[in-house]
Amino acid sequence: MKKNIFLFLCLLAYSLIGMSSCDNDRETTISTIHENDVPTNVELMEYTNTSITVAWDFVEGATSYTVQLLSNVDSDYPQHMYTTSTDDYYEFTGLSPRGNYYARVRANFPYSATSKWVYVMNEDEYARIMPAYGIVNGDFEIVEVQLIAKSSSTLTVGWSFTDFLDMASEINNTFSLELFNDEACEDLYISWEDIKGLFSASLLRFTFTGLEPGKDYYARVTDATANTQTRAYKLTTDVAAPAVGGNVILSQDFSNFIHGGDQLYTAAGYTVGTAAGRATWEKAAGKNPVDATKGQAACAVSTEFNVFDGGNVTVAYTEGAGMKDWGKNGNTSTRPGYIKIGGGSAGATLYTPQLLSLSETSTVTVSFKAAIYKEGSTGYCEDIVIQVVDGAEFNAKGGITNFSSVTVREEKKISILEADSDFESYEVTLTNVTPESRIAFSSDYTRTGDNKTRFFLDNIVIRNGAN
């Protein structure tokens, strides 16, 4: 009896060992019989700023459908996934408006069999889907950079999102602005980081100042809030203003006016906003050059100060800004790369240095650029006055001390109504100009009562002789 029991146990053990060996040799595979039974007409059916709806056609024999959103087409880890057994569409919600998604669908069959994945396509390419825009091309940029204006020393850069979005939601985002000397974005000239609250209405703009004339720069914008960054955009400053020499007896392009919000082009800018910053003229450079001891900061459109004597400006600052021997009456405010004449409803006058390079009484040609000062759609200038004056005297900072007794030798009134929202070029010929004379660029003081006395001025060039 014991022998039979022992034999039975041996046979049972052998049987179990044999079964285990067979199981180890058996491979579990998923059937590929349905891999080509794919969903058809897979498409982006609808989208909103925060949702994507993917649709497809039912497949005969399928028990369910799995739809996925991927961050890139090669990813094995979907950002979002859903399986449905009843519907031929699914809406993914709560998405990032500017997120990049690729959508795909497969059909599921009994015994874990599946079809191949089918992607939403953009013609012959996998469709790049952004909830805010739908299907976009591969080179689509969320943020686009534009050159709004330029001079020999400034670049006014604007950037914007597509018109399909409400800019009111973007204006308070945090941006970083970078300007490079090279396309590879390795040689940084200056950057302003994490700036916000500087912009006006729905315009995102900034004016870089103190740049070299006729040079290529590369601008890049980062929206830290939306986690997006533009490519580098090539921008080139204008050529330099004419140098003094030959028949050019004076040239002023205000290239050292590196401070102030850009009111003409509605752009933020760079300022020295404290008394310390206005003690000496000093350019900012490098990464986020905010120095409290120098008053360096980015500033809003409205920021300005009188370049000659306002806001604790010193003689050293005025001279550093290139205004040595110039003079003024009234408000003459620094703006990036140009000057603002007039303030409030009051007129103002800017006086050149004496024209001492003239050897005798002469005829001169005065060319310049001017633009109307505006607030919204309302303009505050129609005419400006160009004068030849004698006898003007100034204090150490350039403020006139004898305005009422200045002698006007000649005067011409110029309409600048066409200079609406941009600079226009003008030229006048003046006679009877002596070496002791100055050329004055003035508000039309007869228009003080109706507040038509403010304008912008740039690129003054005075040549000996009639043009």
CB 280 within 8 A of CB 320: yes
pLDDT in tens, 161-213: 655 455 566 778 889 999 999 999 999 999 998 888 888 767 899 999 999 99
Residue 309 is predicted with a pLDDT of: 82
Average pLDDT over residues 2-8: 45
Q: Percent of the chain scored above 90 by pLDDT?
A: 69
Determine the 3-state secondary structure of 4 from DSSP: helix
Give 279 or 156, the one with higher predicted confidence. Answer: 156
Residue 26 is predicted with a pLDDT of: 47
| Residue 6 pLDDT level (bands cut at 50, 70, 90) | very low
* pLDDT of 142 strictly over 90: no
- Whether pTM > 0.85 for this model: the answer is no
Strands of 40-187 (E only): list them. 43-48, 51-55, 64-70, 80-84, 89-92, 102-108, 118-119, 121-122, 125-126, 128-130, 134-136, 144-150, 155-160, 175-180
Average pLDDT, rounded, for the chain: 89
How many other C-beta atoms can be found within 10 angstroms of the C-beta atom of residue 134? 15
CATH architecture of 43-136: Sandwich (2.60)
Strands 205-208 and 233-236 turn out to be: unpaired
* Bridge partners, residue 399, by sequence: 328
The CATH superfamily of 141-240+267-300 is: Immunoglobulins (2.60.40.10)
CB 152 within 8 A of CB 239: yes
Q: Determine which of 53-62, 63-72, 112-121, 192-201 has the lowest per-residue pLDDT on average.
A: 192-201
**Where in the sequence of the chain do the CATH 2.60.40.10 domains occur?**
43-136, 141-240+267-300
Residue 217 is predicted with a pLDDT of: 98
Strands 338-341 and 455-464 turn out to be: antiparallel
The per-residue b/e assignment along 181-212, b for 16 or more CB within 10 angstroms, e otherwise, is: eeeeeeeebbbbbebeebbbeebbbbbbbbbe
CATH of domain 248-259+303-464: 2.60.120.260
**Where in the sequence of the chain do the CATH 2.60.120.260 domains occur?**
248-259+303-464
* Bridge partners, residue 306, by sequence: 333
How many other C-beta atoms can be found within 10 angstroms of the C-beta atom of residue 153? 24
Q: Determine which of 137-141, 446-450, 453-457 has the lowest per-residue pLDDT on average.
A: 137-141
Among candidates 332, 381, 374, 410, which has minimal Cα distance to 200? 374
* pLDDT of 10 strictly over 80: no
| Residue 345 pLDDT level (bands cut at 50, 70, 90) | confident
Residue 17 is predicted with a pLDDT of: 43
